[in-house]
Structure 1
Amino acid sequence: MFLVLSPLLLLKLFLVPALVALITLAGRRWGPAMAGWISGFPVVAGPALLFIALDQGAAFAAQAAHVTLMAVMANVAFGVTYAWMATRHHWPLCAAAGVLAFALVGWALVSLRPPAWVALLVGLLGLQLAARAMPRVAFVNPGGVASRWELPVRCAAAGVLVATVTWSAAELGPVGSGMLTIFPVMGMVLGVFSHRAWGGQGAIHLLTGMVKGLYAFVVFCFALALALTAMGTPAAFGLALAAALVVQWLTYQRGA
């Protein structure tokens, strides 16, 4: 007896890992800062929220997107904390400190429950401050050979997160789904492997690039939080994706 996989299930299983693989290859080609900037785009959260909308409905996904927007600065807190810890410490301590910062800031922000437009302003202003707060270090590629486990582990971690969020959404509720969606899986996986491959300076450059790329993430979640119940799932995701692409292009132009 063969297990029949639906197209939606196949999409859930392979879309995000494929995107993470492309980001990994981009990092090898153009360096950690570019990989971080690309991963700031809603590569994981976008598909996760889409699957939530398809499984649980537009209203549920709109609430989850609102929570994700509120907690964006928790993701940023992870990046800033990890980056400063990486100036002196090895990756296990950096990752632990970053996750603790994420949990504390995320709990505080979600407890306040600001409206979407306030969360948008907090996110945009917070990203400006976070970019300035990052440590400044020069990046020199040591020329090490990447581990053969790097790419599979990155892809598996992202895939597991999306699967967990979408298949547990009903039990987690909109708040739990939104918080798990914003969990810094990209920062954790990419940051740790960059740290191991290029040292602390590599992780710092990747996380700095990620902060610069999160503007598109913020706009994407804001558009979904407002548009899902008003426009329906296809139109809302089309609008949010278009807005995120425009913002991503603007940040690229500014960075260039």
Structure 2
Amino acid sequence: MDGWSKAALTAAAVGLVMAVARRRPALAGLVAALPLVTAPTLAWIALDHGAAFAVHAAVGSVAACALLAAFALGYGLMARRGGVTGALLGGLAPTAALLPVALGAGARLDDALLLALGCTLVAELMLARLGARAGRPAGSDARAQGPEPPIRASEAFEAIEADPLPPAPLAPATALSIGAFAALADAAGPALGGFATGLLASLPIVGATMVVREHSRRGQGAARLFLRGYVRGLVGKAGFGAVFALGLPVLGLAATLGLACAACWAAAWPTLRRGRRPACESRPPDGSQQEPPVAVKPSIR
């Protein structure tokens, strides 16, 4: 398969996902974390450079999930204090700081997986805490009133999905750029080595592009929801890379891809179900609390 075909297939996949994310923007973070670029790149590497090279690239993609979690956490923290540019720089700074650690964990799959899951857990907890703080009133009145109940994720999902965005004018160019980058990462494989190729193919290109889009068009609240879904999706991406690295030498490419995709879907399914909660679970739109139903005791005659 030549470079143009690889770029076209990847661009088509990314374009389809961006269209789906426009209809269900609350799930855009989870969709962006899926191995849309990593999966075809690993498959092409296995076909062009052999299984051993592809296994090292898969380990690199697992270690890259730690960098993606650091990017999401840094962006989420800086989004409260500045605009899109400051938040983007805040996401790139911890990513660069964690890069030597990710390179050191690339020698073994279990080290890379432990680093990825640990960073993902920390990012998820910190982003959840950040969202809880954003939902509370500030000042001394907040302390007098006591802690406000946290806003459910389903409420925020419904608020965003009630105002769908028009198609982004740069969406085709973005998809084509990501496809070209995937083909470039595959072509540079022999010069960079397997681990570096997998790391390069897993950079937060889709995630950074879409979180900037959500932040600039909807605000920091939408960006924070996007990042929480993105971090949850990283578990599936790390699972995909781990299953690919373990299964490729034994099962072959086709069976390994199917098993890795199944593992990724299983990890993403809880978040997909969470995003489909019915509207009756949310609080009234005016912010008032719903009164609990009054239990009526049957009268004894």
Aligned to 1:58: 51
Q: Which moved more, 1:212-221 or 1:118-127?
A: 118-127
Aligned to 2:244: 224
Identify which of 9, 12, 28 aligns with 2:6. 12
> CA deviation digits over 1:109-144, x for unaligned, max 9?
222445223332333343232111113157555959
Q: Which moved more, 1:212-221 or 1:16-25?
A: 16-25
> CA deviation digits over 1:69-115, x for unaligned, max 9?
12311111011111111112121222223223222212212224452
CA apart distance, 1:212: 1.1
Q: Which moved more, 1:144-153 or 1:217-226?
A: 144-153
Q: After TM superposition, list the pairs within 5 Å mapping 1:1-256 onto structure 2.
A: 9=3, 11-31=5-25, 33-113=26-106, 115-134=108-127, 135-136=130-131, 137=134, 141=160, 146=166, 148-253=168-273
- Distance in 2 between residues matched to 1:155 and 1:88, nearest whole Å: 30
- 8 Å contact 1:150–1:193 — kept in the other structure? no
> Which secondary structure state, in structure 2, belongs to the residue aligned with residue 52 of structure 1?
helix
Aligned to 2:285: none
- 8 Å contact 1:154–1:190 — kept in the other structure? no
| Structure 2: stretches of 5+ with no match in the other structure | 136-155, 277-301
- 8 Å contact 2:10–2:178 — kept in the other structure? yes
| Structure 1: stretches of 5+ with no match in the other structure | 1-5
Richer in helix (by share): 1
Q: Percent identity?
A: 29
CA apart distance, 1:218: 1.0
> Which secondary structure state, in structure 1, belongs to the residue aligned with residue 21 of structure 2?
helix
TM-score by length of 1: 0.87
- 8 Å contact 1:169–1:177 — kept in the other structure? yes
Count how many residue pairs are aligned between Structure 1 and Structure 2.
Answer: 249
Q: Which moved more, 1:216-225 or 1:154-163?
A: 154-163
TM-score by length of 2: 0.75
- Distance in 2 between residues matched to 1:240 and 1:143, nearest whole Å: 35
- Distance in 2 between residues matched to 1:174 and 1:87, nearest whole Å: 38
151 and 111 in structure 1: CA distance in 2 versus 1, 3 angstrom threshold: same
Tell which structure's C-alpha radius of gyration is larger.
2
- 8 Å contact 1:41–1:214 — kept in the other structure? yes
RMSD: 2.4
CA apart distance, 1:48: 1.4
> CA deviation digits over 1:43-92, x for unaligned, max 9?
11111111111111111010011122123111110111111111121212
- Distance in 1 between residues matched to 2:260 and 2:105, nearest whole Å: 25
CA apart distance, 1:242: 2.0
